[in-house]
């Protein structure tokens, strides 16, 4: 299944998002489906209008109880006639990992550094700002305190069932779904911060894009490969293809990331885990001289992962 948070167009930003089920290019309102369903299904309708950390499990359970044949007969709203917010909004927390070897190796090589052997010993992550997440189509403001603005092409994984000390063998039972993720970065600020040995912080926490849809794992199962899925991941800036990777090249799969994140601590429904950048998936790795320079106001960044959809954002000047 594919979940979303949506507002029918023309959409006002102060109107709360609604929970939707996306089926064959149309959005079906989940609250309406719950009201029209049998009493047992309606009892599982969450109290919130949209999909957030608190309502995610309830909406997923409702969707599992709906009749597919009935859903196929509902007209719904064409997907192009809605504005999409992040598919889980807000998330409970955000941990971003560093799981693709090609990206780590290439980015270090550009700085004249060998591959660090400790990277292979455990999956590492940093915490970022769960309240600065924006959705598909939303503008991203270039912060005024840096110049080297970059995108990062990633996969986001949303936790559907909480737990502590989750083993890698059972970790996939805790996944609600996946979405395209863009970990926006100010590389000059990030470089200064990392010299201190703590961070990144202000080089990262100003914006993360997530969406357009939350796709449950069963939709991807036939493309499973290695520790990921054989799904192409691409990035375009102003329509020009500059990055082309594949999810199957991930070194630490999401099962391992969940196991690492939950060691000695509770994970909760609505927690977001980022994969880290796929190989070739950012300007830092490619080099600004090969990617047309760092991002600037007016640039349109389109990140796409097969079956998860395309996440598009335009950069706007700081202070706009």
Kindly state whether residues 203 and 299 are assigned to the same domain.
yes
281 contacts 137 by C-beta, under 8 angstroms:
no
Note the pLDDT of residue 320: 46
Residues 110, 57: one domain?
no
- Confidence at residue 157, expressed as pLDDT on a 0 to 100 scale: 99
- State how far the alpha carbon of 276 is from the alpha carbons of 5, 49, 96, 309, in Å: 24, 31, 6, 18
Please give the model's pTM, rounded to 2 decimal places.
0.95
Three-state SS at 185: strand
Q: Is 320 strand, coil or helix? A: coil
Provide the pLDDT for residue 35: 81
Same domain? For 44 and 102 the reply is no
105-127, pLDDT tens digit by residue?
999 998 899 999 999 999 999 99
Over its C-alpha atoms, the chain yields an Rg (Å, rounded) of 19
Same domain for 239 and 217: yes
Task: Note down the domain range covering 117.
Answer: 93-316
Q: What is the pLDDT of residue 34?
A: 86
**Exposed/middle/buried for 25, CB within 10 Å: 0-12, 13-18, 19+?**
exposed
pLDDT on residue 48: 62
Number of domains in the chain: 2
147 and 273 share a domain? yes
Q: Are residues 17 and 40 in the same domain?
A: yes
Query: Which portions of the chain are predicted below pLDDT 50?
Result: 39, 320
Based on the domain organization, do 301 and 234 belong to the same domain? yes
pLDDT tens by residue, 46-93? 656 899 999 999 999 999 999 999 899 999 999 999 999 999 999 999
Instruction: Mark which of 59, 85, 111 sits at the end of a domain.
Output: 85
Whether 49 and 116 map to the same domain: the answer is no
- Last-in-domain residue among 85, 113, 130: 85
Do 80 and 142 lie in one domain? The reply is: no
Instruction: Based on the fold, state whether residues 52 and 137 are members of the same structural domain.
Output: no
Query: Is there a single domain that holds both residue 80 and residue 219?
Result: no
Are 156 and 79 within one domain?
Answer: no
Domain boundary among 40, 64, 85: 85
Domain of residue 147, CATH code: 3.90.850.10
């Amino acid at each position: 299944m594919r979940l979303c948070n949506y507002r029918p167009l023309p959409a006002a930003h102060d109107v709360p998002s609604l929970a939707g089920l996306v089926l064959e290019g149309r959005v079906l309102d989940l609250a309406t489906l719950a009201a029209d369903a049998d009493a047992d299904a309606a009892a599982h309708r969450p109290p919130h209008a949209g999909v957030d950390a608190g309502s995610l499990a309830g909406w997923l359970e409702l969707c599992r109880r709906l009749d597919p044949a009935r859903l196929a007969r509902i007209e719904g709203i064409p997907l192009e006639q809605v504005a999409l917010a992040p598919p889980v909004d807000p998330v409970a927390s955000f941990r971003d990992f560093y799981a693709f070897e090609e990206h780590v190796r290439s980015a270090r090589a550009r700085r004249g550094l060998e591959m660090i052997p400790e990277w292979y010993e455990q999956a590492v992550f940093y915490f970022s700002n769960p309240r600065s997440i924006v959705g598909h189509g939303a503008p991203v403001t270039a912060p005024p305190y840096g110049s080297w603005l970059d995108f990062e092409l990633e996969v986001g994984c949303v936790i559907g069932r909480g737990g502590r000390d989750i083993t890698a063998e059972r970790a996939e039972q805790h996944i609600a779904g996946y979405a395209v993720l863009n970990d926006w970065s100010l590389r000059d600020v990030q470089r200064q911060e990392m010299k201190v040995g703590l961070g990144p912080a202000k080089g990262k926490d100003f914006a993360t894009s997530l969406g357009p849809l939350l796709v449950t794992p069963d939709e991807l199962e036939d493309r499973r490969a290695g520790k990921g899925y054989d799904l192409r991941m691409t990035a375009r800036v102003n329509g020009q293809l500059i990055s082309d990777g594949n999810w199957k090249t991930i070194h630490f799969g999401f099962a391992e990331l969940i196991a690492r994140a939950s060691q000695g601590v509770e994970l909760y429904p609505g927690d977001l885990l980022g994969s880290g950048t796929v190989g070739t998936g950012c300007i830092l790795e490619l080099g600004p001289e090969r990617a047309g320079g760092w991002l600037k106001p007016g640039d349109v960044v389109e990140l796409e992962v097969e079956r998860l959809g395309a996440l598009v954002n335009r950069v706007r000047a700081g202070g706009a």
